[in-house]
Every structure is written in structure tokens, then in C-alpha cells.
Structure 1
Amino acid sequence: MLAAGTAVALTGCSKAVGEPFSSGSGRGGPILPAPAPLLPPPPIGPKTPIPAQTITALPGRGANLALTVDDGASPEVVGAYIQFARDTGARFTFFVTAYYDSWAIHRNALRPLVDSGQIQLGNHTWDHADLTKLSAAGVSSQLERAKSFLWNNFGVDGAPYYRPPFGRHNGTVDRVAADLGYTVPTMWYGSLSDSGVITEGYLIECARKYFNAQTIIIGHANAPTVTHVYGQLVDIIKERNLSMVTLNDVLAPPR
């Protein structure tokens, strides 16, 4: 069902990468190789150093777009994002809420993309608690449990990037996070506004508003709307000559 949904979503951009192309000779004809990915690879060049502090956009010059995807409440949406990456060459940074079983369900499909660097994982806590309402020990537990999950399942811990749930953090939260290696609270410039169910039209309106050069955009793997508009998102990115990047593609984090 996911594969079919992704193919439909990409209709209007071009044929989905990975879909067999026949020579036109009918049944039994040779299968030609799939075309190149719809989206270009990340830029090659020096990465921009960043300090140990909150970021809301990609510093420096360029035409890069960092689409970051939070939570993971829906296994179907996580699976569709993985297929989207495979079909188009899209690059994402997932901020993983480790409590959701989506990440374990799709571990085997996701791990090769993490290993290759096409998908980056960051820490979005264990179960999406408001960290500003917890004790220092509670903050530490939320981040440590997610850190252990990421390492045990994907061989990365997400450091130095973490995204506090609801975007809420303070000096205590940042201090505890930094002690665990998370020195860069990662916020955003614009949002797809899809933490819950919205219309396809509104999501595309948000994309057209916020998909700009050197931006960090927040989306969510919670509701199916985004899985219906992948083709339109690709069109916007291509129209604006943007390159999808992970944070690791373009940033040199503090040592």
C-alpha cells in the first residue's frame, strides 16, 4: 500500500525512481535502468562551522533546504518518507521520538539510508515530554533513553543535534543536554504545520511560503497528508533550484 501511495504521490513530477521502464516491446521486453534521482545530490565543499548554540536556519550562503521530520507517531508515514527518499534522492534529518514503534518497525529499511548519510537522525526525546516542566534528572532521562535507542538500533546517537518537544527549552534543559553531547538545540525557520491532520492545500501553502534557501523546515511523521503531496513538494524544490540536505551535509558542529 505504501509503495502504491508513493507512486501516486509522485505522479505529475516524473516516473518514480525504481519503477521498471520497459522498451515498449511488450511482455518479455528488456527492462531499462531506472532514471537518475529526481533531486540533486548535496553540495560538495567545505562545511560551515557552527557554535554550540541554538540554530534556526542554515548559516552561510547557498541554496540548501533542510527538511527536518519530527516524532514518528505513524508507522505508515515513516515508511512513506523512507520510500520517498529512495524514489527521489531526498535527504532528511529525522528527529526521533524513540517511544514510537515506527522506528523499530522500519529499522531494517531505514538503517542503510542512515549508514549512507542520506537520512540523519537527531534526538527528540523518549516520549515527547515538555522538558521545561521536568527536573534536571527528568530531562537527562528523556534524552539518554532516546540516545541509547538510536545507538542500539542505528549506530548513531544524533549528537550534537537535539530538538526539544514543542520547541521549549531553557538554560537548565540546554545545560543537561550539552552534558550528554547535545550542544545544538535545533529549531526551525518555517513549518509544514502537519503535527496533526491538515488539508493537502494548506500543507502546500506552507511549503510554498517556507521552502527557501538556507532554511530549516519542520515537518512531522504523524498524519498521512504529507504522503499525498510528495510530488508537489519535489516540484517546489526543483522550481526554486534548492538542494535538499541533512544538517551533517553542510554544517561542521562544535568540537
Structure 2
Amino acid sequence: MKTIVKILLASALLLLITLPATTGAEENSNSPMHWGFKKGRNGRQADAGRMFEVILEDHGAVYKGDKNSKDIYLTFDNGYENGYTEKILDILKEEKVPAAFFVTGHYLDSAPELVARMANEGHIIGNHSWHHPDLTKISDEKIKKELEMVRSETERITGKKHMTYLRPPRGIFSERTMAVAKEAGYTHIFWSLAFVDWNTDQQKGAQYSYDKIMTQIHPGAVLLLHTVSKDNADALGKVIRDLKEQGYEFKSLDDLMLSKGGMKDPMLY
């Protein structure tokens, strides 16, 4: 009996020794994370904390630019059209400001003329997934399909084949989803300035949007705004003009990635 017990214990020990060392890491790699940060104040940059900083660096992702340069990167999430994107595009054109618009499948289906205008006027169109799912809850293949559906439809509408930037739906991500997206050719773009602006039945006026932006603004800020917000559309012109007067310069995500050395071949862009 003692001999049998010894054999069983030895077998169990051998099994533990020979298990792949990465098993635990693989299981944890899809642990969902919700993007968040300490807001910027008085010109100081927002701070996502060491853990997020390391994860983003490991996967080539970004959420802000150089703290010593008064550059701003304006981005919009476009889940659906609510009648304000045309006004936003008019303002950007008048002020000669570049932006990035992260679109979903619904937006591509319902507002293709606006997507075409974005591209024609030199704005970046980013990928926000087709169905806006929690990417951590779907397989690698489904993630790739979500992204490819957006890319291919954007190409059909705009003629532009390449899509470079991804913003994860709901700000939920994992190391697995970041790795899958990177393998598909995408750079994750998070943000360092945002506020609750997407509730269309709880708009509070242009001054609210203006104040939320101006109190958080900082060098290298990546702004996340939603085009469904009337407040944002009404405040945007004044925000841009006042920030220009403060010495800020609006730049594109391509400029941001170039500054970080994140483009493999800048001549392609």
C-alpha cells in the first residue's frame, strides 16, 4: 500500500513539474480590464497608473502624447448618427483641425455619406468594431471578423484600404484582445480626457461640455468625444479657438504615432 501511495505521489509531482509554465498566464491573459485614469487638472497630464502604462507599452498602445508639447489629438466615437456630425465636420473644416472618427458597423450602414466626407476631408477613420461587443467575451476569430467587417466596408465607402487604429468598445480590453488586434495590424488608441457626454436625453448645454474639456485639458491630451452629443457640437468651435489661443496645436493620430516612433514605415502614411 505504501509503495502505491509513493508511486501516485511521484506521478503527481512529475505532472506538476512538466506542466507548461505559461498555463496560468494564458488563463489570466483574457482578464477583462476597464480603461480608466486620474483626470488631468491645471495643465497636468492624466495618469492611468503604472499597471496600465506597462500593458499599453507592451502592446504598442497609447492614450496620451508628450507632456512637454502642447499638442492635442481630437477623437470621436461614432456608434450611430444623431444629427450633429455634419456640424462637427463643418467646424473642423473651418478651423483646419484634423480628427479621428472611430466607427461601428451601424454607423457605416446608416451614414455612409458622412464617412465618405470624413475621409475626403482628411480625417482618420478608426475601427470601433462592427457590433460593439465586449471583445474579451468573443473568440480570436470573431474579433478579427468584427474588425475586418469594419475595414472592408470602410474601404468600399471611401476607397481607403488600410485601417490602423482601434478603440475597444466600452473601453473594455484584455492582453489577449490587444494581442489579437495588434496581430491584425491595429494600434489601440485609448484616451486621457473624457466625460459623460453620450446620454442624449441628459444634455446639459454647450457650457457644460466646454467646462469639462477645459478643466481637464493638458499637453498631449487625447480627447474622446461622442458625436451624438448636442453639447459637444455646440461647444466645439469655442473649445478649438480658445485652446489655439492658449498655444495648443491640434494634430492627428498619425502625428502622435510618429512622435512615439510607432510607425514602421512613415512613408506609407
TM-score, normalised to structure 1, is 0.71
Residue 134 (structure 1) aligned with residue 141 (structure 2)? no
Larger radius of gyration: 2
Q: Out of 83, 95, 101, which is 2:90 matched to? A: 83
Secondary structure, counterpart of 2:190 in structure 1: coil
Q: Out of 135, 149, 156, which is 1:152 matched to? A: 156
Letter in 1 for 2:194: S
Residue 98 (structure 1) aligned with residue 105 (structure 2)? yes
Q: Which residue of 2 aligns with 1:74?
A: 81
Letter in 2 for 1:195: W
After superposition, what is the alpha-carbon deviation per residue over 1:40-95, rounded to whole angstroms, capped at 9, x for unaligned? xxxxxxxxxx8842211013642110011012412522212211121111211111
After superposition, what is the alpha-carbon deviation per residue over 1:193-240, rounded to whole angstroms, capped at 9, x for unaligned? 312233123211211122221111100112322121123212331232
After superposition, what is the alpha-carbon deviation per residue over 1:83-116, rounded to whole angstroms, capped at 9, x for unaligned? 11211112111112232145403244333213xx
Q: Which residue of 1 aligns with 2:225?
A: 219
Letter in 1 for 2:252: T
Task: Say if 1:137 and 1:111 are closer, same or farther in 2 by CA, change over 3 A.
Answer: same
Q: Which residue of 2 aligns with 1:111?
A: 119
Alignment partners' CA distance in 1, 2:150 and 2:163: 9
Aligned length: 200
Alignment partners' CA distance in 2, 1:204 and 1:237: 11
Unmatched 5+ stretches in structure 1 = 1-49
Q: Which residue of 1 aligns with 2:192?
A: 189
Letter in 1 for 2:212: C
CA contact (8 A) 1:72 1:102 kept: no
Alignment partners' CA distance in 2, 1:254 and 1:234: 27
Q: Out of 160, 172, 175, which is 2:176 matched to? A: 172
CA contact (8 A) 1:78 1:102 kept: no
Secondary structure, counterpart of 1:229 in structure 2: helix
Task: Say if 1:102 and 1:220 are closer, same or farther in 2 by CA, change over 3 A.
Answer: farther
Shift of 1:139: 1.3
Alignment partners' CA distance in 2, 1:56 and 1:78: 23
After superposition, what is the alpha-carbon deviation per residue over 1:1-37, rounded to whole angstroms, capped at 9, x for unaligned? xxxxxxxxxxxxxxxxxxxxxxxxxxxxxxxxxxxxx
Task: Say if 1:151 and 1:243 are closer, same or farther in 2 by CA, change over 3 A.
Answer: same
Secondary structure, counterpart of 2:106 in structure 1: coil
Unmatched 5+ stretches in structure 2 = 1-56, 265-269
Shift of 1:251: 2.2
Task: Say if 1:102 and 1:62 are closer, same or farther in 2 by CA, change over 3 A.
Answer: farther
Letter in 2 for 1:131: L
CA RMSD of aligned residues (A): 2.1
Task: Say if 1:168 and 1:231 are closer, same or farther in 2 by CA, change over 3 A.
Answer: same
Secondary structure, counterpart of 1:81 in structure 2: helix
Alignment partners' CA distance in 2, 1:214 and 1:54: 15
Q: Which residue of 2 aligns with 1:199?
A: 204
Q: Which residue of 1 aligns with 2:124?
A: 120
Task: Say if 1:90 and 1:54 are closer, same or farther in 2 by CA, change over 3 A.
Answer: same
CA contact (8 A) 1:130 1:168 kept: yes
The structure with the largest helix share of the pair is 2
Using the TM superposition, name which of 211-220 and 105-114 deviates more.
105-114
Q: Which residue of 1 aligns with 2:247?
A: 241
CA contact (8 A) 2:73 2:220 kept: yes
Letter in 2 for 1:104: P
Q: Which residue of 2 aligns with 1:40?
A: none
